[in-house]
Each structure stands twice: as C-alpha cells, then as structure tokens.
C-alpha cells in the first residue's frame, strides 16, 4: 500500500526534527531532547522527544542513515555518529574540489549576477541560548554560499552532494564560528568569495575558497578535541 500524503508529511516532519538533533548534538539548548555522539537512538524514546509515532520515526532514521548522518549496526539499531576529524577532513577536501570546479568552469553571466541573493545578514553572536541560534545562522549562511556556487552547474546530483556535506559538517562549522574571536569573519570571507565571482575573478575566488577550506581542515582535530569536552559536560547535566 502506498503512503498517503499524511503519512509522507509525518515522516518529513519527524525527519526534519531528528536531523536537527543529530547534526547539532550539544548545541541543541533543550537537554531533554538533545542527542549526543554515539547515543543509541531508541525509536520509542525519539518518538517521545519529537512528538511523533514510532513508524515515521523509524522511516526518518532510515533516511538519515542513508544520508550518512547516523550509523546503523545490525541487530542493535541506530546510533548517532561520533564526529571524526579524518572523515571530516576528507569531506572538506571533496567539497573544495567540487566548488572549485564550479568556480573555474564557464559561467552564465546572468546566473553569476544572482549570486548572493537571499543570504542572511551577519549578526553579532549573543550570549546564552540565543548564541546557539546566531551560530547556526552564521553556519547556514556559509552553507548557502556553497550551495549557490554549486547551483551554477545546474547539476542536481552535485548539489545534493554539497548539501549532504553541509549537513555532515554543520556541527564543526558551528563550533568554528563559536570559537572564533570574530564570529562573523568566516561569513564575510565567503561573501567576499561571492563578490569575486560577480567581479569575474575566478582565480581570486578559488584562492579565497582554498583559504577558508584549508583553515577548516587544519583546525578540525583541535575542534574535535574541544568538542569531546563539550559532550562530557553535556552528558553530566
């Protein structure tokens, strides 16, 4: 029997809520619903956390596992991923190559002129729970830059891969923004990349991209070490 529209909507809703939990870990302010790295994702427990029934939660978890956002172990079930610096470095290097390909290929001037539209304004990161919201805001602006550049290729498969990279690297991107003395620096750097493309300077854009990506690749081991301390403190609350 095919899913009804209502069933599909329930799965999509559960997927969206669960995805937010499994890619943000301790950055989710509410400790009652928070998911920490390596946590056994019990379906009934998650159903209570996201106010959904077990069936859409199971289907949402299967979708998240297929996207590499959680792990699945035979006869044991689903587990949240434990961020790994080496794996993330590979993802960043892959994304850099994809974005560089799109920057250096012949581009449609009208598409380039539309770059940067709809990007969120850079704001100061506040304190307390509102800080998490601002950090996500900054991280998602950076991700929007990556997606807009990829959309220049009009290649849907390539766009899906970059969006998956954005999801899988969201947590460390948020931590990087949070730990930077200038919380808006990375966003401005990516917006400068957009301006270089609009000024028809692909070489300068590639250099700006490489600076951003290589810095993240170098910083990842330290970010993960710092993250472990955050997970320990969050688990103790």
183 token code pair: 């919380």
User: In a 3-state reduction of DSSP, which class is residue 116?
Assistant: coil
Task: Name the pTM for this structure.
Answer: 0.90
Over the stretch 7-22, which tens digit does the pLDDT of each residue have?
679 999 999 999 999 9
Q: Pairing state of beta strands 40-41 and 70-73?
A: unpaired
Give the pLDDT score at 133: 77
Over the stretch 104-114, which tens digit does the pLDDT of each residue have?
988 888 888 88
Q: How far apart are CA 127 and CA 129, in angstroms?
A: 7
Over the stretch 43-65, which tens digit does the pLDDT of each residue have?
999 999 999 999 999 999 999 99
Say if residue 123's pLDDT is above 60: no
- Enumerate the domain spans of the chain: 5-80, 85-236
| Percent of all residues in the chain with a pLDDT value above 70, rounded to a whole number | 92
27 token code pair: 């950055």
| More confident call, 71 vs 75 | 71
Over the stretch 175-192, which tens digit does the pLDDT of each residue have?
999 998 888 899 999 999
Q: How far apart are CA 229 and CA 63, in angstroms?
A: 30
Distance between start and end Cα atoms, the chain:
44
- Strand-pairing partners, residue 78, are 41, 72
Considering the segment(s) 5-80 as one domain, its CATH architecture is Orthogonal Bundle (1.10)
Under 8 Å between Cβ of 147 and 162 = yes
Say if residue 124's pLDDT is above 90: no
E strand residue ranges, the chain: 40-41, 70-73, 77-80
* Residues listed for the chain: 237
User: In a 3-state reduction of DSSP, which class is residue 202?
Assistant: helix
Q: Domain 85-236: give its CATH superfamily.
A: GntR ligand-binding domain-like (1.20.120.530)
Q: Of 26-40, 47-61, 71-85, which range is least confident?
A: 26-40
Average pLDDT over every residue of 188-207: 93
């Amino acid at each position: 029997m095919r899913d009804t529209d209502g069933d599909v909507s329930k799965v999509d809703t559960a997927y969206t809520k669960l995805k937010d939990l499994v890619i943000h870990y301790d950055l989710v302010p509410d400790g009652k619903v928070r998911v920490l790295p390596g946590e056994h994702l019990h379906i009934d427990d998650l159903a209570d956390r996201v106010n959904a029934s077990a069936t859409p939660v199971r289907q949402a978890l299967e979708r998240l596992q297929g996207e590499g956002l959680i792990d699945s172990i035979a006869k044991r079930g689903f587990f949240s991923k434990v961020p790994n610096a080496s794996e993330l470095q590979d993802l960043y290097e892959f994304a850099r190559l994809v974005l560089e390909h799109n920057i250096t290929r012949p581009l449609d001037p009208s598409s380039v002129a539309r770059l940067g539209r709809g990007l969120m304004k850079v704001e100061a990161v506040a304190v307390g729970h509102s800080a998490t919201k601002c950090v996500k805001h900054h991280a998602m602006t950076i991700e929007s830059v990556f997606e807009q550049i990829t959309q220049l290729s009009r290649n849907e498969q390539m766009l899906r891969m970059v969006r998956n990279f954005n999801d899988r690297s969201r947590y460390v991107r948020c931590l990087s923004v949070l730990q930077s003395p200038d919380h808006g620096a990375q966003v401005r750097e990516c917006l400068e990349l957009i301006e270089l493309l609009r000024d028809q300077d692909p070489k300068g854009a590639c250099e700006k991209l490489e600076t951003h990506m290589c810095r993240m690749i170098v910083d990842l081991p330290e970010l993960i070490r710092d993250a472990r301390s955050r997970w320990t403190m969050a688990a103790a609350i």
